[in-house]
Amino acid sequence: MYIFQPIYKSLEYVFIQVYKFVLGTLAQGPIPRHVAFIMDGNRRYAKEKGISIAAGHLAGAQVLVKIMDTCFDCGTDVVSFYAFSLENFNRPKEQIDVLMNLLEAIVGEMGENDPLVKKHNLRVRVLGRLELLEDSVLRVIAKTMNATKDNRGKVMNICVAYTGRDEIASAIRETVAGSDFPSKIMVNSLTENMFMGVPLLDLLIRTSGVYRLSDFMLWQCHQDTDIEFVEVNWPDFGRLDIGLILLRWQSRRRALAYV
């Protein structure tokens, strides 16, 4: 083990220098204001590693925190994660319990005294059909959201019991109920009643090599939204991966500016 320590230290040094270079380069140009992630591949990762599905999801949860921190360090204002779809309620109960326990743990840690919350003056929002969740999970969500609601720095959205189509249907119901003149309902009216609100999405990233949106943020995706499909599973997705994706996004924006 000790024989390899100099190699590990050298590799760590190289990684840090590359990462600093990426951050420095990103600071010189435009940054996506809103980045969203479909965190796919936790179960596939567990199978490949020969570990339990619960351990795979735990590894994915740890990556969520790291990637969120990295995005904010790079200058992004809002980061959204697809944590639990409405369709996920069809999974076996033990898998649902694992995901809900992780959600409760992650959200519960992000109170006003959490170092990451302090670092980014972070506002935590959990969005979706929250009435479908267990009371114990709802209490934790309410506590953290209330503790961070006045923060005016970065924003993290965790989408739970969520699908894009359900969000759109809900926004239509809210908009129509609040309007005496349906003919006056405009795009902005619907946007204001979405779970997500603004800003719209600049960059959507899905891991594990699956090429579909899975009913995520259908309204927020627009003509200028870039979509990146990454071959690695979510627990293997790292700081350098997101840094290089942001560099590609920045390069495309610079190219468009000269067209």
pLDDT, one tens digit per residue, over 154-172 is: 999 999 999 999 999 999 8
Buried b (16+ CB within 10 A) or exposed e, 153-162: ebbbbbbbbb
Instruction: Report the number of secondary-structure helices (H) and strands (E) in the chain.
Output: 9, 6
Is 226 marked active-site?
Answer: no
Q: What share of the chain is helix, strand, coil (3-state, %, to 5)?
A: 55, 15, 30
pLDDT of residue 185: 73
Residue 176 in any domain: the answer is: no
- Check pLDDT > 60 for residue 2: no
Which structure tokens are listed for 147? 């503790």
- Check pLDDT > 90 for residue 1: no
DSSP, collapsed to helix, strand or coil, labels residue 228 as strand
In 3D space, the residue among 161, 120, 124 whose CA is nearest the CA of residue 142 turns out to be: 124
In 3D space, the residue among 46, 78, 79 whose CA is nearest the CA of residue 64 turns out to be: 79
Residue 53 in any domain: the answer is: yes
Is 135 marked active-site?
Answer: no
Residue 181 in any domain: the answer is: no
pLDDT of residue 188: 84
Which is the catalytic residue, given 40, 114, 202, 241? 40
Q: DSSP secondary-structure letter at 154?
A: -
pLDDT of residue 180: 67
Give the CATH number of the domain where residue 152 resides: 3.40.1180.10
Residue 179 in any domain: the answer is: no
Task: Place 4 in a pLDDT band, splitting at 50, 70 and 90.
Answer: very low
Task: Place 258 in a pLDDT band, splitting at 50, 70 and 90.
Answer: low
| Contact present, 247 and 25 (Cβ < 8 Å) | yes
Our count of domains for the chain comes to 1
Q: Which of 131-145, 188-202, 213-227 has the lowest mean pLDDT?
A: 188-202
- Check pLDDT > 80 for residue 27: no
Which is the catalytic residue, given 88, 101, 121, 151? 88
Residue 251 in any domain: the answer is: yes
Domain that holds residue 154: 32-163+197-257
Q: Which helix (H) or strand (E) is 231 found in, with range? A: none
Where on the phi/psi map is residue 121: left (φ > 0), alpha (ψ -120 to 50), or beta?
left
Residue 209 in any domain: the answer is: yes
